[in-house]
Amino acid sequence: MTSSSHELKLPEELVAEIHRCFRCGYCRSACPTFTAMGSESWNARGRLLLARAILDGQVELSPGLLDRFFSCLACAACEVVCPAVVRVVDAMVAFRQALVASGAPLPERVAELARRLLEEGSPLPGASERGRQPKAPAGEKVGVLVFPGCVASELEPGVVKAIEKLLEAADVPYSLLEGACCALPLLKLGFTREARKSMELLAGRLRSLRPELVLTPCPTCLEALTRYLPQLTGTSVRAEHTSTFLRRLLREGKLALARRVELKAAYHDPCVLGRLLGIYEAPRELLWEAGLTVLEMPRNRRESACCGYGNLAFLAYPELAARIAEERVKEALATKADVLATACPSCLHAFAEAAKCVARPLAVADVTEVLAELV
């Protein structure tokens, strides 16, 4: 066995976390990358074993080895079934941070994704060529600031349009901030320093805009705004997910639906919105309000399965992400639903792509899009 030339520095507390795994293997039932790849190195037990082997100098760092760490979707499904209660996501993020800091050669597509996030402020290729300029809101006082996040802005603009239509229908004045990066994917990929810088930039803009409320359809942006922004930059903002905000508008009678649709919808809990932020019922309530019958897939709420696109994995590991998304679409099809509904632009994009590859056509929609159809 050879020892690695790249020294990894990991906080003691997280080394202990890695050692806490007693290898029971229960994560085999939950880990989406394991289900897709079918071998131990792609589940939490395998990843933690490999982390130990690296720390103990038992294995040489290689792009293939690093893939096991960077492909973790940070979906935390394993944490729900882990009897040792290992904080796997924290351990994976810390390990990625240590790998990045060590200067180890990163998997090509991961490095490219990080470069784009850093230099172009967007995870998607070609953003700078398109001359994508951040659209800052005009006017003096900003009430509701819509923060769509990169995936909605660039890949699922229907979600942004739906939010605008709904806010207009409810007479809620708003401004739109497109092209600003929440920096959380960068942070979770392990680029701590760069993410901090990017988040400082965002904090500065938010400080100058001083919105009363930041409204986002993206659970990851919400996590960034509510948890990481105050922690890393000291800037606090009031931020809310579109699903809970719209539910309030409906309950208070400020938003009224002109009609209802009688369809069956399978609702997919996005990992970050549900497992990480605890929002399970608001999106379901919106669907019921819209007249839809909400069906549950076998894996729902805390046990929900990742769409495969978690933390922008569809850009770093497209084949793996597509395979996982297809599995989930098949699970939705089995409920005999007409629509697969979700409350996250990344999940939406995952299912829109995957739905093209399955036998029976299945409509996919974000809850905001469903509501916008009915005002």
Partner 1 sequence: MVDASLVRALEDIVGPENVSADPVELLCYARDASENFGLPDVVVWPRTTEEVSAILRLANERKVPVTPRGAGTCLSGGPVPARGGILMVLTRMNRILEVDVEDMLVLVEPGVVWADLNSALEPYGLFLPPDPASGSVCTIGGCIAENAGGVRAVKYGTFRDWVQALEVVLPTGEVLWTGSRARKWVSGYDLVRLFVGSEGTLGVITKALLRVFPRPRHTAVMSAFAPELEDAGKAVFYVMSRGLMPSAVEIMDASTLEAVSKYVGMEFPTCEAMLIFEFDGFTQADVRARLREAKKLCEASNLRVEVASSEAEAARIWRARKSASPALARLRPSSIHEDITVPVSKVAAMLVRAREISRELGVLIATFGHAGDGNLHPVILFDEKDEDEARRAMKAAEAICRAALELGGTLTGEHGIGMSKARFFPLEHSPVALEAMKAIKAAFDPNGILNPGKIWEVP
Residue of 35, 40, 80, 288 that binds partner 1 (CB under 8 A): 40
* Closest distance to partner 1 from the beta carbon of 319 (Å): 14
CA distance 18 to 29: 20
Contact 322, 329 (CB under 8 A): no
Q: Is 50 in the site for partner 1 (CB under 8 A)?
A: yes
Residue of 4, 6, 29, 264 that binds partner 1 (CB under 8 A): 29
Q: Is 41 in the site for partner 1 (CB under 8 A)?
A: yes
Q: Is 12 in the site for partner 1 (CB under 8 A)?
A: no
- Cα 308 to Cα 13, 36, 58, 161, 201: the distances in Å are 29, 10, 31, 25, 29
Amino acid residing at 209: L
* Closest distance to partner 1 from the beta carbon of 12 (Å): 13
Total site size for partner 1, rule CB under 8 A: 30
CA-wise closest residue to 189 among 95, 125, 105, 272: 95
SS3 117: helix
Single out the segment in contact with partner 1 by CB under 8 A; choices: 44-52, 72-80, 182-190, 211-219.
Answer: 44-52
Which is closer to partner 1, CB of 98 or CB of 182?
98
Residue of 49, 209, 261, 358 that binds partner 1 (CB under 8 A): 49
Six token digits for residue 301: 């709420």
CA distance 330 to 334: 6
Q: Is 11 in the site for partner 1 (CB under 8 A)?
A: no
Residue of 26, 263, 264, 331 that binds partner 1 (CB under 8 A): 26
CA distance 284 to 341: 9
Six token digits for residue 361: 């056509």
* Closest distance to partner 1 from the beta carbon of 110 (Å): 16
Burial (Cβ within 10 Å: 0-12, 13-18, ≥19) of residue 266: buried
End-to-end CA distance of the chain: give it in Å, rounded: 65
Q: Is 103 in the site for partner 1 (CB under 8 A)?
A: no
Which is closer to partner 1, CB of 38 or CB of 234?
38
Q: Is 107 in the site for partner 1 (CB under 8 A)?
A: no
* Closest distance to partner 1 from the beta carbon of 147 (Å): 38
Residue of 9, 12, 39, 359 that binds partner 1 (CB under 8 A): 39
Cα 272 from chain centroid? Answer: 6
Q: Is 116 in the site for partner 1 (CB under 8 A)?
A: no
- Centre a 10 Å sphere on the Cβ of residue 94 and count the other Cβ atoms it contains: 22
> What is the contact mask toward partner 1 in residues 51 to 90, using x (rule: CB under 8 A)?
--x----xxx-x-xx--x------------x-xxx-----
Cα 109 from chain centroid? Answer: 18
Residues that bind partner 1 (CB under 8 A): 16, 19-20, 22-26, 28-29, 38-41, 45-46, 49-50, 53, 58-60, 62, 64-65, 68, 81, 83-85
